[in-house]
C-alpha cells in the first residue's frame, strides 16, 4: 500500500490520476489529507509519500515529521518519501543551486539587503504553484510597483521571492519547458512543451515537429544525471522538477512535491495522447515498483501526546 499525504484543498493532483490514467493503481494508492492525522491512532506498513510540503504550516510540518519518526521506527516494512522538515524549501533549493554554480539566476527575499539584484526579475511566492505574480520587471521602480501591488492583494511579504529572469526562448521566440518526475531515485521524463508565453503551464504550440522533439526527450531522458543530483540536493524523494535548458545548461525552476500526475484524457489534444499513454505506462510501473508489501498484521501506533503538542505550540 502507498499512502499519499496531501493538503485537503490539493488532493485533486492524485485523485484525478487515480480516476483516469491510474485507475489500475486504486487498490494500492490511498490518498490521505494531513488533517486526518489529528485522529489517527495507527497506520499500516507500506510506502508513505509526504507531499505538498511547501504548503504546510510550521506546525503541520512538525506533526508530519513526528509521524515520519514513528513510522520509521517500525523498520523495513515502512518506506518513506520526502521528510517534512529536512527537504529544502523552494527558496533554499534555488539558492543552493545558484551557490553551487548550477543555476545562473539568483533569488532574493523581498526586503532583503545584501547581494545586488540583476534585472530583469519577476515576483513569485515561495509556497504556492501559481507561477509568476508579476510580469517581467526591468528596473527598481517597476519592482517596487509590483511589490506594492502584491501587498495590496494580501500576499505575505515573508513568502515573496524576487527571481532573476532567464529567457528560455529560442531564436524564433518559442519558450521550452521541460519536466521530469523523481521517484525514489528514478528520473522519469514527463514532458517538453512549447509556447510563445514565458509562463508555461500547458502547451499552446503543438505540431508534428514539436511532438517528435518531445518524443525524443521522453525516450532518451537526456538530463537524468543532472536531475538526480538536483533531487538529492533538495532532499526530495518524490516530486516533479520543472526546468529549462539555456545555452546547453539545465536551469531548474522548482521541484513540486505535489505535482499533477496527469490531466484527464479529454484535456489533451488527440495528437498528444500517444505520448501521454507512454508516460502513463512508465509512471504506473514506477508506483508499482515503490509499493512495499508489508506484513498485513503490522499496525504502527501513532501518538501525538500533550507534551509533543505543547512543544509545537511553543515553537509557533
Higher pLDDT, 35 or 112: 35
Could you give the percent of the chain with pLDDT greater than 90? 83
End-to-end CA distance of the chain: 33
Task: Express each pLDDT in 216-234 by its tens digit.
Answer: 999 999 999 999 999 999 9
Mean per-residue pLDDT, 84-89: 96
Q: Which pLDDT band, with edges at 50, 70 and 90, does 297 fall under?
A: confident
Axis crossing angle, helix 306-315 with helix 58-72, rounded to the nearest 10: 140
Q: Which domains does the chain have, with CATH numbers?
A: 2-87+292-315 (no CATH), 106-164 (3.30.1490), 175-290 (3.30.470.20)
Average pLDDT value for the chain: 94
* Contact status, residue 138 vs residue 118, Cβ threshold 8 Å: no
pLDDT for 85: 96
Nine cell digits for residue 314:
511553543
Higher pLDDT, 298 or 249: 249
Task: Judge whether residue 201 has pLDDT over 80.
Answer: no
Task: Judge whether residue 202 has pLDDT over 80.
Answer: no
* Contact status, residue 73 vs residue 43, Cβ threshold 8 Å: no
Burial class (CB in 10 A: 0-12, 13-18, 19+), 186: middle
Higher pLDDT, 112 or 254: 254
Task: Judge whether residue 140 has pLDDT over 80.
Answer: yes
pTM of the model: 0.94
**What are the CA-CA distances from residue 21 to residues 2, 189, 264, 280, 288 (Å)?**
17, 17, 8, 6, 14
Mean per-residue pLDDT, 132-139: 93
pLDDT for 31: 97
Highest mean pLDDT out of 13-27, 153-167, 296-310: 13-27
Q: Are strands 46-50 and 78-81 parallel, antiparallel or unpaired?
A: parallel
Task: Judge whether residue 272 has pLDDT over 90.
Answer: yes
**What are the CA-CA distances from residue 76 to residues 1, 187, 188, 287, 298 (Å)?**
14, 24, 25, 18, 11
Q: Which pLDDT band, with edges at 50, 70 and 90, does 1 fall under?
A: very high
pLDDT for 205: 85
Task: Judge whether residue 3 has pLDDT over 80.
Answer: yes
* Contact status, residue 267 vs residue 204, Cβ threshold 8 Å: no
Task: Judge whether residue 142 has pLDDT over 80.
Answer: yes
Mean per-residue pLDDT, 285-310: 90
Please state, in angstroms and rounded to a whole number, the distance separating the CA atoms of residues 211 and 114.
45
Grid cell 505540431 is found at: 207
pLDDT for 263: 95
Task: Judge whether residue 129 has pLDDT over 90.
Answer: no
* Contact status, residue 276 vs residue 268, Cβ threshold 8 Å: yes
Give the residues across from 179 on adjacent strands: 191, 242
Task: Express each pLDDT in 229-250 by its tens digit.
Answer: 999 999 999 999 999 999 999 9
pLDDT for 217: 97
HEC secondary structure over the chain: CEEEEECHHHCHHHHHHHCCCCHHHCCCEEEEEHHHHHHCCEEECEEEEECCHHHCCHHHHHHHHHHHHHHHCCCCCEEEECCCCCCCCHHHHHHHHHHCCCCCCCEEECCCCCCCCCCCEEEEECCCCCCECCCCECCHHHHHHHHHHHHHCCCCHHHEEEEECCCCECCCCCEEEEEEEEECCEEEEEEEEEECCCCCCCCCCCCHHHHHHHHHHHHHCCCHHHHHHHHHHHCCCEEEEEEEEECCEEEEEEEECCCCCCCCHHHCCHHHHHHHHHHHHHHHHHHHHHCCCCCCCCEEECCCCHHHHHHHHHHC
CB atoms within 10 A of CB 167: 12
Amino acid at each position: 500500500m502507498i499512502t499519499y499525504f496531501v493538503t485537503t484543498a490539493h488532493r485533486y493532483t492524485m485523485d484525478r490520476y487515480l480516476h483516469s490514467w491510474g485507475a489500475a493503481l486504486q487498490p494500492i494508492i490511498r490518498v490521505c489529507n494531513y488533517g486526518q492525522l489529528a485522529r489517527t491512532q495507527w497506520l499500516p506498513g507500506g510506502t508513505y509519500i509526504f507531499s505538498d510540503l511547501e504548503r504546510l504550516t510550521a506546525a503541520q510540518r512538525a506533526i508530519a515529521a513526528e509521524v515520519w519518526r514513528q513510522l520509521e521506527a517500525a523498520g523495513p516494512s515502512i518506506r518513506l518519501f520526502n521528510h517534512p522538515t529536512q527537504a529544502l524549501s523552494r527558496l533554499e533549493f534555488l539558492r543552493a543551486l545558484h551557490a553551487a554554480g548550477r543555476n545562473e539566476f539568483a533569488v532574493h527575499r523581498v526586503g532583503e539587503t545584501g547581494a545586488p539584484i540583476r534585472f530583469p526579475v519577476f515576483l513569485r511566492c515561495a509556497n504556492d504553484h501559481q507561477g509568476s505574480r508579476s510580469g517581467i520587471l526591468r528596473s527598481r521602480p517597476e519592482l517596487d510597483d509590483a511589490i506594492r501591488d502584491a501587498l495590496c492583494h494580501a500576499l505575505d511579504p515573508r513568502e515573496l521571492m524576487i527571481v532573476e529572469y532567464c529567457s528560455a526562448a529560442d531564436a524564433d521566440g518559442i519558450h521550452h519547458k521541460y519536466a521530469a518526475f523523481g521517484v525514489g531515485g528514478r528520473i522519469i521524463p514527463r514532458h517538453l512543451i512549447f509556447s510563445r508565453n514565458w509562463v508555461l503551464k500547458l502547451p499552446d504550440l503543438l505540431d508534428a515537429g514539436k511532438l517528435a522533439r518531445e518524443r525524443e526527450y521522453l525516450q532518451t531522458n537526456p538530463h537524468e544525471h543532472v536531475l538526480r543530483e538536483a533531487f538529492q540536493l533538495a532532499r526530495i524523494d518524490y516530486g516533479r522538477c520543472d526546468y529549462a535548458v539555456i545555452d546547453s545548461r539545465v536551469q531548474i525552476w522548482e521541484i513540486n512535491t505535489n505535482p499533477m500526475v496527469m490531466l484527464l484524457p479529454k484535456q489533451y489534444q488527440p495528437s498528444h495522447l500517444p505520448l501521454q499513454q507512454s508516460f502513463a505506462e512508465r509512471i504506473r510501473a514506477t508506483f508499482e515498483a515503490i509499493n512495499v508489501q508489508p506484513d498485513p498484521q503490522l499496525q504502527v501506533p501513532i501518538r501525538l501526546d500533550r507534551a509533543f503538542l505543547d512543544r509545537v505550540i511553543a515553537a509557533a
